Structure 1
Amino acid sequence: MQSSTVLPVLFDVLPRVARIAAYIAVGVFAANLVVALGLVERIAGLSRYLTSPANLPDEVGTAIVTTAASTTAGYGMLAEFRESGVLDDRATLVAVTINTFFGFVQHIFTYYWPVLIPILGREVGFLYVGARAAIALAITLTGVVAGAVLLSGRTAASTAVAETDGAGDSDMDGDGGDGERDDPLRSMADDAARKTWKTLRRIVPRLAIVYVLVTLLLQTTDLEAFTDLASPLTSLVGLPGAAVPVVIAFTFDTTTGAATIAPAIGETFTPRQAVATMLIGGIVSFTVSTFKRSIPFQYGIWGPEFGSKVIVVNTGLKIVFLGIAVALLVA
């Protein structure tokens, strides 16, 4: 393959990988530190209403809280808990599913409120964001139910990461003197940093390789062929023919799709039809976003085998609940 093809891809991918790696580092470091410091009980208090019925350990609550601020950091925490043995594969899938609503919350303040609602107008904007929030919440509650069923019989007690590695002793020298109080904290931070570096060495090279390969694949693949799904889907639910170009635009760029449909609301589309059209755009866009974002990110975090399971669960649940929401809107 010619360097003239690869170099532009590297310049595009490497900053993205560096940004993701930074968030993962924050998540993994925080995961080790909060456990070593015994802060799990304080941070995970509210999230225990979700983790306890799902038979998940308290550490997962810290990942849930973190996900509301940064999805990548939250995933980094879960990856560290899985690597250390706090979570097995089944429990990790349940935790990832429960994280869905909290990953959605951050987008309300960073995108939906300042960007999408002004474009769509108050009525349609709030209806669309409300529909997406309900879908995310339904997926989270599905995760709780799945944990209650699939993880039944397990104890949701804390299994500290630090315990398995010998870190976290409150008085390492045993003398408890004032002059030694900083040493345990420094030791915990150093230990968390070492574990973070170990995790990054495993994840980042894989992340970079998969991102490069996927980006090269996208440059040689006509993903627009997948938008042929738009016409059958819109016809199936009885939407106007004008919904097809909106779905296609929405598939590749949410803001463009919203700007495309906004002038037609009240004339070609009712508010409910407009929201249904955008949700169908979301269904079709999963085909594109899976290639562009999900595969590189999930494979980088978990590896191909478990990453594929996460993608199937995430995408499958989103498509199911998006379909239900569309059916309710056009009923």
Structure 2
Amino acid sequence: MTDGPFVQEFETVDVQSLLSVLLTEALPRVLTITLLIGFGVGLANLAVGYGLVDVIARVGRYLTEPANLPDEVGAAVLTNMLSVTAGYGMLAEFRESGLLDDRATLIAIVINTFFGFLKHSITYYGPVLVPILGVQTGLLYVGVRAGISLAISVIGLLAGAILLRGYEYDSSAVEPETPDDEKRTHRETLRHAGVKTAEQLRSIVPRLAVVYSLVFVALEYTDQLLAGFAAVGIEEPAAIVDPVASLVGLPAAAVPVIIVSLVDPTMGAVTVAPMIGDVLTPAQAVLALLVGSLFSLTVGTVKRSIPFQYGIWGSAFGTKVIIVNTGLKAVFIIAAILVFLVV
């Protein structure tokens, strides 16, 4: 009796392949994120040590004041435009120090959305997607994504204005512990910031390593499971995507674009680019990418959001962050799709 397709697929998963996944997928991701979080936390500690938080926060005060957030959060918002991970690291430091509670931290994270998009627009959307899609379709898609991110940040501002009204923050939680008449030397300030950063990383990095390892190992088995389905002729993604594409008025040619976008947004853009003008209009191409991004929220949550958020915040608060972030993205992507259907 021969083994079935599922058994045959799972037989290919062995210790060597799992070690390869851990070393080539999980470890580089953990090291990269650790460096970026260390940069953000270290920057926060240095800003506190040198009294720069107030200076930087003045620029972001226009955002923090309407949302009833402390001025220090403005520094994290601006850092987001340099590195989203570093911005999260600063917020983690402010929460750990007691400056922010869970509600205020969640609202700060939501407000950060648009500023994280600005960073990605410089490093990804502009130099990568626009050349692939062409100027007209590329700018249309980037504009839609910008509108989605801006809408989410506005929701954060409104939530802060309502839910954080009357909040009082203890800014002394992030002030240097040394009295004014006993100011630290530059070396002492750097050493103190380094020690605090190391302490924070000691609590974050083990969680990052464990969760990322579990997720990538699980994804390795998931790939085998999907291959098993394909071996018996069950193309699950297409079976789900095809009715949705029809529902929003997309031709059958858009289905592969949506499926590829589910796994890799860049490859989705590469797939749709040759179709623009002949098979799909620019608006249909953007709509296909939006539908693909809606489906890919699940994949992105498993591969990126869960390990990243759990690593920084722990499972309890990390789950809240994931639900809020993913929920808002889904709502506004659907809203953007509906706008395309109406116009």
What residue in structure 1 maps to residue 29 of structure 2?
Answer: 16
| Structure 1 SS opposite 2:171 | coil
Instruction: Report the Cα offset of residue 215 of structure 1.
Output: 0.5
Q: 1:77 to 1:237 in 2, by over 3 A?
A: same
* TM-score, normalised via structure 1 length: 0.91
Per-residue Cα deviation, 1:145-198 (whole angstroms, up to 9, x for no partner): 01111111114x6714443xx52544316xxxxxxxxx4333222221111111
User: CA RMSD, aligned part only?
Assistant: 1.8
What residue in structure 2 maps to residue 145 of structure 1?
Answer: 158
One-letter amino acid matched to 1:61: G
Residues 257 and 271 in structure 2, CA contact (< 8 A), matched pair in contact too: yes
What residue in structure 2 maps to residue 251 of structure 1?
Answer: 262
Residues 61 and 71 in structure 2, CA contact (< 8 A), matched pair in contact too: yes
* Residue among 280, 289, 292 paired with 1:269: 280
Aligned partners of 2:236 and 2:216: how far apart in 1?
17
Aligned partners of 2:323 and 2:197: how far apart in 1?
27
Residues 24 and 75 in structure 1, CA contact (< 8 A), matched pair in contact too: yes
Residues 24 and 72 in structure 1, CA contact (< 8 A), matched pair in contact too: yes
Residues 44 and 61 in structure 1, CA contact (< 8 A), matched pair in contact too: yes
What residue in structure 2 maps to residue 57 of structure 1?
Answer: 70
Aligned partners of 2:14 and 2:196: how far apart in 1?
38
Q: 1:68 to 1:229 in 2, by over 3 A?
A: farther
What residue in structure 1 maps to residue 9 of structure 2?
Answer: none
| Structure 2 SS opposite 1:220 | helix
Residues 206 and 299 in structure 1, CA contact (< 8 A), matched pair in contact too: yes
Residues 51 and 58 in structure 1, CA contact (< 8 A), matched pair in contact too: yes
What residue in structure 2 maps to residue 189 of structure 1?
Answer: 190
Structure 1 gap segments, 5+ residues each: 174-182
Aligned partners of 2:265 and 2:15: how far apart in 1?
33
* Residue among 5, 8, 16 paired with 1:4: 16
Residues 234 and 241 in structure 1, CA contact (< 8 A), matched pair in contact too: yes
Aligned partners of 1:172 and 1:288: how far apart in 2?
52
Aligned positions of 1:30-179 closer than 5 A: 30-155=43-168, 159-163=171-175, 167-172=177-182
Aligned partners of 1:19 and 1:134: how far apart in 2?
29
Q: 1:227 to 1:213 in 2, by over 3 A?
A: farther
What residue in structure 2 maps to residue 318 of structure 1?
Answer: 329
Aligned partners of 1:297 and 1:313: how far apart in 2?
15
Per-residue Cα deviation, 1:274-330 (whole angstroms, up to 9, x for no partner): 111101111001111111111110000000111011000000000100111111112
Residues 22 and 217 in structure 2, CA contact (< 8 A), matched pair in contact too: no
Residues 79 and 87 in structure 2, CA contact (< 8 A), matched pair in contact too: yes
One-letter amino acid matched to 1:30: L
* TM-score, normalised via structure 2 length: 0.88
Aligned partners of 2:237 and 2:83: how far apart in 1?
30
* Residue among 23, 28, 32 paired with 2:41: 28
Q: Percent identity among equivalent residues? A: 55
| Structure 1 runs, 4 residues or longer, greater than 3 Å off | 160-163, 168-171, 222-229
Residues 272 and 330 in structure 1, CA contact (< 8 A), matched pair in contact too: no
One-letter amino acid matched to 1:324: A
Paired residues in the alignment total 319
What residue in structure 2 maps to residue 178 of structure 1?
Answer: none
Instruction: Report the Cα offset of residue 226 of structure 1.
Output: 5.3
What residue in structure 2 maps to residue 303 of structure 1?
Answer: 314
One-letter amino acid matched to 1:199: Q
Aligned partners of 2:14 and 2:221: how far apart in 1?
14
One-letter amino acid matched to 2:317: F
What residue in structure 1 maps to residue 5 of structure 2?
Answer: none
Q: 1:256 to 1:2 in 2, by over 3 A?
A: closer
Aligned partners of 2:85 and 2:172: how far apart in 1?
21
Aligned partners of 1:141 and 1:43: how far apart in 2?
22
Structure 2 gap segments, 5+ residues each: 1-12, 227-234
| Structure 1 SS opposite 2:82 | coil
Aligned partners of 1:142 and 1:244: how far apart in 2?
32
What residue in structure 2 maps to residue 280 of structure 1?
Answer: 291
Residues 237 and 259 in structure 2, CA contact (< 8 A), matched pair in contact too: no
